[in-house]
Structure 1
């Protein structure tokens, strides 16, 4: 049943979300399921969150990819214990839009509710697009207090005054005791 991936034909893109109890072998089972239907993993983010596995996967394949995965999803879920959501999508643009500039935002704070909300609200007011977001919680070396870390890759419209944005993020940091830095770059 292994369909070869035909690069010459038009490609279909499917965004797959897979969530369930974590265990060894899940990534292999997902990759095999896609491959059996001519699918190829183009981009993914997979992590253990709590005791569960969570995967966001962009799969490219033949025009029938979505219908083939939908037809076999119930059997895959029953076999693996995963809950799978399938959504047709398109390939992401190869580069940052010309009117956008890419930045990396890093923030650290004693953990408290609303950190991601406050930062994303500030960015949203500037029409910035959060391309990727990673968070994790660690512990301060001596006190053991929970420390929250955020890293975002952000596309900011070229017309945005970056020093003013940095000042606004700095004010937010002072109000909510968050160390925030915004640096050019990112991928």
Structure 2
């Protein structure tokens, strides 16, 4: 079996997931993991599938044929390396008034500490007491086992104060 990572983007319309899943199934593929969303009026996603080795070439051609429906699809071989077991998982939650630079500041602090972003979900929502837009983020992170959570907490609190957002770290 070959594992593939597919990235997909196209105009949002009913039936796109069905066409994609049908094409994968026609080539004896198995849909393993995915994250699919409507973003900016587009359908966008990333998924991991497995397909028998002898079906890979035919599947690539069938995925190219789906581009006639407006989907742009990139298929890459998955890197099946196992994740290191000595990493420490934790989450970061953020909420505050929207302004440019929030993701840049937080991601820079994480990268400086060799913390990997496993998943990041962000959204703009209307504030409950006002019509002002609030930026919300939730990140699932992996840090080296020996990293100092207190030091990170201090650094994050400084960033939160500068950006006027609330940030919570959870083990």
TM-score > 0.5 by shorter chain = yes
Give the counterpart of 1:35 among 25, 38, 44.
25
1:18 lines up with 2:8 in the alignment = yes
Q: Matches of 1:76 and 1:92 in 2, distance apart?
A: 30
Q: Matches of 2:117 and 2:137 in 1, distance apart?
A: 12
State the 1:76 CA deviation: 1.5
Pairs aligned (count): 171
Q: Matches of 1:156 and 1:73 in 2, distance apart?
A: 36
Give the counterpart of 1:108 among 73, 95, 98.
95
Q: Matches of 1:74 and 1:26 in 2, distance apart?
A: 14
Q: Do 1:12 and 1:90's aligned partners in 2 also have CA atoms closer than 8 Å?
A: no
Q: Which runs of 4+ in 1 moved over 6 A?
A: none
Task: Give the match for residue 74 of structure 2.
Answer: 85
State the 1:75 CA deviation: 1.7
Q: What stretches of structure 2 of length at least 5 have no aligned partner?
A: none
Give the counterpart of 1:74 among 64, 67, 85.
64
Q: Matches of 1:127 and 1:97 in 2, distance apart?
A: 14
Q: Do 1:21 and 1:82's aligned partners in 2 also have CA atoms closer than 8 Å?
A: yes
- Could you list the per-position Cα deviations for residues 57-105 of structure 1 after superposition, in whole angstroms to 9, with x for gaps in the alignment? 1011111343222222332111x22111111113463xx5222100010
Q: TM-score, normalised by structure 1?
A: 0.87
Q: 1:15 to 1:69 in 2, by over 3 A?
A: same
**Alignment root-mean-square deviation, CA:** 1.3
Give secondary structure in 2 for the equivalent of 1:159. coil
Q: What stretches of structure 1 of length at least 5 have no aligned partner?
A: 1-10
Q: Do 1:108 and 1:150's aligned partners in 2 also have CA atoms closer than 8 Å?
A: yes
Q: Do 1:106 and 1:182's aligned partners in 2 also have CA atoms closer than 8 Å?
A: yes
> Within 5 A, what are the aligned runs for 1:167-178?
167-178=154-165
State the 1:142 CA deviation: 3.0
Q: Matches of 1:109 and 1:92 in 2, distance apart?
A: 37
Q: TM-score, normalised by structure 2?
A: 0.94
